[in-house]
Structures are given as structure tokens and as C-alpha cells.
Amino acid sequence: MPLKSTSQATFDPDDRWDGGTTWIAHPEESMQRASHALVVDGDVWVVDPVDADGLDEHLADLGDVAGVVVLLDRHKRDTDAVALGHDVPVYIPEWMDGVAEAMTAPVERFGTTLADTYTVYPIKDSRFWQEAALYDEDDGTLVIPEAVGTASYFRTGRERIGIHPMLRLRPPRRLREFSPERILVGHGEPLRSDADDALADAVDGARRRTPALYFDAAKDLVFG
């Protein structure tokens, strides 16, 4: 299984719910890059997209694309191409550096809210890692691109969602503030049920399970 696929992506939504949809454009890759479309009052906000054949038609079925959102400085992905294709701006948190310069589409900055529905929470803001989360407390949707994930390399043991391997020894404190019903991640399938308990377990057990996670990673590297 390749870490990151370069093959032609095809669109097949992995998850669709009242508030949007999620797709993994290259299910054969171990990174399991996940992208999301959030629907708010008929407007579609595309988050950290990997483009794929059939995506434009799917987005049209959902509503009018209002913007393409970057929540992690490393997740430029196909943001620029999708924004240009729909003639909409790229939306970037006002404090995030190093993304706007890579875009040719117009750029808009947003602060503490997005689409008057999602509250924006800084998760990490450092020289090497800038990440924001979106949280709709009313319907319990948390969108978080990197600090947690459901792809196999984030998880160990019985974890349904895990803390990023580089953050396990010091999980971001903000993760304890959320009680979501569903979690949309940047790597792996969405967590659709009992997400609050799974997130709390991931945060509380992150440090003590780190050796097991690293052992699993080393075993996969050696034995494939």
C-alpha cells in the first residue's frame, strides 16, 4: 500500500449526512487523505480537498460552492485548483502563515467563525505546525485535520481515533474542550458515533500508549 498515491482519483463519497459529505480520493494509500464538504444553508464549504473525477458534479448536487477552506498549513492539497474551478476564494484562518502565498485563487481570511455556524479553534500555532478546527456545537460536528485521525498509523490497540504520533506525548489541551457527536478528520474515515467518548479516550491514553503505537509503526516498516 503506497504512502501517498499519484494515480488518477475517482470520486466515491465514503460518508454522507445531513450536513455534508466526506471522500477519500485514494483509498489504496496508507495516508488515507480525507476531504469534506460542509453544507450550511445551501452553501457548500469544501475543506482540505483532494480533487477527483466526479467531485464537481457531487458538489453541485449539494448546493452552491461558497469557498474552499484550509485548516492545516500543510494541507494545501488541491485547494487552489478546486477554488479556481468553482470561481470562489480560498478561506484561511487569519493567523495562519505560508498558505496564501501558494494560491493563485483569491484569498479570504476568517477569524472566530466560519459561515456563522462553525466556531474556529486554533489547535496548534507554531513555526512548524499551524492547525485549526471547526466545531458546530449545535449538531456536534468537529472537523479537525491532523491532531487526531482514524487512519491506522494514528491508532493502536482498541483506539477508534488516535492522536497524531508527533503529538502523543503532549496532546493539545484544546482537544479536551470538545464533546462531538461526529469527527471529520484529515486522514481516515469519519467517526460517526460515540465520538465524544472516543476522543476523550484518545487524549487520556495518548501518552501511555505511545510505545505501543511506535512499536506497531516499526513492525509495519520492517514486515510491511
**CATH number, residue 119:** 3.60.15.10
Residue 2 lies in a domain: no
Q: How confident is the model at residue 161 (pLDDT cuts 50, 70, 90)?
A: very high
Question: Higher pLDDT residue, 183 or 5?
Answer: 183
Q: What is the pLDDT of residue 149?
A: 98
Checking if the pLDDT of 156 tops 90, the result is yes
User: CA 217 to CA 224: how far, in whole Å?
Assistant: 10
Question: Higher pLDDT residue, 17 or 7?
Answer: 17
CA 7 to each of CA 4, 14, 65, 74, 125: distance values in angstroms, whole numbers, following the listed order: 9, 19, 26, 21, 33
Checking if the pLDDT of 221 tops 50, the result is no
Least confident interval from 29-38, 86-95, 159-168, 214-223? 214-223
Q: How confident is the model at residue 14 (pLDDT cuts 50, 70, 90)?
A: low
Checking if the pLDDT of 6 tops 70, the result is no
- Amino acid (one-letter) located at 34: A
Q: How confident is the model at residue 18 (pLDDT cuts 50, 70, 90)?
A: confident
Residue 12 lies in a domain: no
Residue 81 lies in a domain: yes
Which residues on neighbouring strands pair with residue 139, listed in sequence order? none
188 — alpha (psi -120 to 50), left (phi > 0) or beta?
A: left
Q: What is the pLDDT of residue 28?
A: 86
Q: What is the pLDDT of residue 219?
A: 53
Residue 7 lies in a domain: no
Angle at 5 between CA 64 and CA 217, to 5 degrees: 115
Q: Which residue has the cell 510491511?
A: 224
User: CA 40 to CA 34: how far, in whole Å?
Assistant: 20
Three-state secondary structure call for residue 4: coil
Phi, psi angle pair for 24, to nearest 5°: -115, 105
Angle at 210 between CA 206 and CA 213, to 5 degrees: 110
pTM > 0.85: yes or no? yes
Residue 179 lies in a domain: yes
Q: What residues make up the domain containing 78?
A: 17-223
Residue 182 lies in a domain: yes
Give 60's Cβ-side CA count (13 Å radius): 6
Q: Among candidates 41, 4, 47, 58, which has minimal Cα distance to 190? A: 47
Q: Among candidates 194, 56, 7, which has minimal Cα distance to 68? A: 56
From the centroid of its chain, how far is CA 11? 17
Which residues on neighbouring strands pair with residue 184, listed in sequence order? 143
Residue 9 lies in a domain: no
Stretch 63-83: mean pLDDT, rounded?
97
What is the total count of domains within the chain? 1
